[in-house]
Amino acid sequence: MDRKTVAYLLISGLLVFGAAGSHPMAGTKGNQPAEEEKPQVLIALPDGTELHLTLIPAGSFQMGSPVSEEGRESDEGPQHRVTISRAFYIGTYEITHAQWQAVMGEIRDNSGFDGSSYETPMQSTSWNEWQGFLEKLNELGLGRFRMPTEAEWEYAARAGTESRFYWGEDPDYEDIVDYAWFDENSEGQGHPVGQRKPNAWGLYDTSGNAWEWCQDWYGPYLEGDQTDPIGPETGEFKIFRGGEWFNPAETSRSAFRGKFAPDRWLYFGGLRVLMEVPE
């Protein structure tokens, strides 16, 4: 899209980038949006730090992994059809130390921040602590923010794919170095967000760099088609997804599920924030 076709619309205090004269969902079919129609939202946090969000269209996908998938864990099945009934905005990148500081006013000493880059993902954070971040973010009146459900997360991460990774099956792990930070290429540290190749919907680091907490309690998948699932009502562990820089490549698969107690620090635990689309 060249610059002359871009419209800048100020809507409810949000700067939205989209094709001039087009509806944000125009030209989409199922879960494959047209290449030129991926609206971006840019939100200025209190100190001027930017929060980039990408619109994800409503649609359906196969959640989980087939029995034949290499590296599959038993809790990734049964594979089932899920419908996401409403579009939503999700972080183009994982929340960074700079964004955490802009919202919370400080960076904890144990957050994985070494002073070299504020653009590395915020880590070493419990599910409960991220709820505190979201509460503060919502108090700013810039939108309604929350964690994605596990289904919303996988839908956004897959971006219309059904392969092991969003770039393909990659059986010999030859291509992953271009798309994710993991144990073999990270040099023992997290990296500034957005340095690897994005998925088809323009999201960066959905594989690798930092784990990403989800809203759901951990539990077995239910069989059959589902619409907007939210997981069990209660549980012992919360879900995290996406792999991270310290773990092997197979944990960066789109279907891989992690779990951890919500009140404990997950050493590489980050977040990709979701913003609801106003009704």
3-state secondary structure 101-163: HHHHCCCCCCCCCCCCCCCCECCCCCHHHHHHHHHHHHHCCCCCEECCCHHHHHHHHHCCCCC
> Residue 256: is its pLDDT beyond 90?
yes
Give the tens place of pLDDT for each residue, 189-202: 899 999 999 999 99
pLDDT band at residue 234 under the 50/70/90 scheme: very high
Give the tens place of pLDDT for each residue, 236-245: 999 999 999 9
Say what the pLDDT of residue 110 is.
55
Where does the chain show beta strands of DSSP type E?
A: 6-11, 14-19, 40-44, 50-56, 59-63, 80-84, 88-91, 145-146, 211-217, 226-227, 238-241, 258-260, 269-270, 274-276
Task: Determine the average pLDDT of the residues in 181-209.
Answer: 96
Say what the pLDDT of residue 37 is.
41
pLDDT band at residue 116 under the 50/70/90 scheme: low
- CA distances to 15, 170, 223 from 206, rounded to whole Å, are 24, 16, 26
**Whole-angstrom distance, CA of residue 214 vs CA of residue 147:** 6
Of 34-38, 61-65, 153-157, 216-220, the poorest mean pLDDT is in: 34-38
Length of the chain: 279
Residue whose C-alpha is closest to residue 244's, from 272, 206, 210: 210
Q: Which residues contact 17 (CB under 8 A, 6 or more apart)?
A: 6, 7, 8, 39, 40, 41, 42
Whole-prediction pTM: 0.86
pLDDT band at residue 115 under the 50/70/90 scheme: low
Domain annotation for the chain: domains and CATH numbers: 3-276 (3.90.1580.10)
Give the tens place of pLDDT for each residue, 119-173: 999 988 999 999 999 999 999 999 999 999 999 999 999 999 999 999 999 999 9
> Residue 272: is its pLDDT beyond 70?
yes
pLDDT band at residue 278 under the 50/70/90 scheme: confident
* Start-to-end C-alpha separation, the chain: 28
Say what the pLDDT of residue 203 is.
98
